[in-house]
Structure 1
Amino acid sequence: MGKHLTPGEPYIYQEKDRLRIKSERDLDRYILRPGDVLYLSRGATTYPIIIEEVPDATVAPSTFFILTPRPNIVPVYLTWCLEQPQVEAQLAALRTGAGTPTIPRKGFMQITIPLPDLATQHRIADLWRLHNRERSLRQQLVAESTHLYRLAGQRIYDELTKIRGQQ
């Protein structure tokens, strides 16, 4: 589900995300596999997510396009392309609807992206992964420094309160 995804981060299944459904219709075309790219096509913010790990028989809701890259396309490279401002502009031009904007599938299938050789795609994919790792580390650093700042503030405040109480 969309609430399990974070823009710009690969999806790795967690047991807490499990949701069981039983359907009378054939869901084969909605089943996800590692290497698939989900594209959130509805809402004010649209974005791609690469599926890195997912259990068997996991399906995506209809708010996502499921992209299964051909062998000549590196999935992470495709994700990177879909995040580029030039592609985002192409997709924004397709968006329709006032209440819940939607990118129509037909228009989505007509966008163009450059397709370099596999080695170049892999280098770009490595850059994407490194960027995401750096962003994650920066977020952790900010969270930890905020935590330490608060602890220091508590100690200083407690010391000031003790001093004031002694006067």
Structure 2
Amino acid sequence: MAIRNLVASKPLYWQDLPRVVIHDKHLAHCLQPGDVVIPSRGDYYKAWLFEGADESVFPVGQLNVISPGEGLDARYLVWYLNQKLTQAKVGLMLTGTGIKALTKTALLTLEVEVPPLSKQRQIAELDYTTQQIMAVRHRLNELDRDEIAYLTKQILQEGRGHA
């Protein structure tokens, strides 16, 4: 997985990632379910939750991986990191003049508001539902585009038969 996978305009499906061969000694660096991934370079710093996959997922390039401890719901952390106010704080932490960078050191200074776990889970569930709705809308848009492409192709083919 690379930054481009995280900042794409479509939902991220782990099974769609490219396959690479990883040496055994690097397998310990693969993502674990519950890890939160956030780019460390670029223009967008959207956090993503890794919920697990059938195969190992290895983060490539400039990605920060956060493994939340007890008392911090990973999905809540993703929601929190993606809030406009938090993103503004992240923006102030960036270094570099050309390509901006979010260093691990800077990320460690970010204070996270941590309500009781029950409230974190409520927020996380609402955010999950929102993400599911967005994924369904994206898929519907894809189907609409496919249908329009098919229909326009049919219209063009009909026109050729009568010309």
After TM superposition, the score normalised by the length of structure 1 is 0.79
Match of 2:115 in 1: 116
The AA in structure 2 aligned to 1:95 is: L
Show the 5 A alignment for 1:35-74.
35-54=34-53, 59-61=58-60, 63-74=62-73
Contact in 2 for aligned 1:95/1:102 (Cα 8 Å): yes
Show the 5 A alignment for 1:23-102.
28=28, 30-54=29-53, 59-61=58-60, 63-102=62-101
Q: For CA contacts below 8 A with separation 6 or more, give which structure has more relative contact order.
A: 2
Tell me the secondary structure at the aligned position of residue 66 of structure 1.
Answer: strand
Contact in 2 for aligned 1:33/1:54 (Cα 8 Å): no
Contact in 2 for aligned 1:41/1:47 (Cα 8 Å): no
Moved more, 153-162 or 143-152: 153-162
State the shift of 1:81 in Å: 0.6
Aligned residues: CA RMSD: 2.8
The count of residues paired between Structure 1 and Structure 2 equals 161
Match of 1:17 in 2: 18
The AA in structure 2 aligned to 1:18 is: R
CA distance in 1, matches of 2:19, 2:158: 48
CA distance in 2, matches of 1:76, 1:10: 15
Tell me the secondary structure at the aligned position of residue 52 of structure 1.
Answer: coil
| Gap runs ≥5 in structure 2 | none
After TM superposition, the score normalised by the length of structure 2 is 0.81
Which is higher, the Rg of structure 1 or of structure 2?
Answer: 1
State the shift of 1:121 in Å: 1.0
Contact in 2 for aligned 1:43/1:102 (Cα 8 Å): yes
CA distance in 2, matches of 1:32, 1:151: 40
Match of 1:5 in 2: 5
Deviations 1:53-95 (A, max 9, x none): 1468754345122211111011000011110011100110011
CA distance in 2, matches of 1:15, 1:162: 40
CA distance in 2, matches of 1:36, 1:133: 19
Show the 5 A alignment for 1:146-165.
146-163=145-162, 165=163
CA distance in 2, matches of 1:42, 1:22: 25
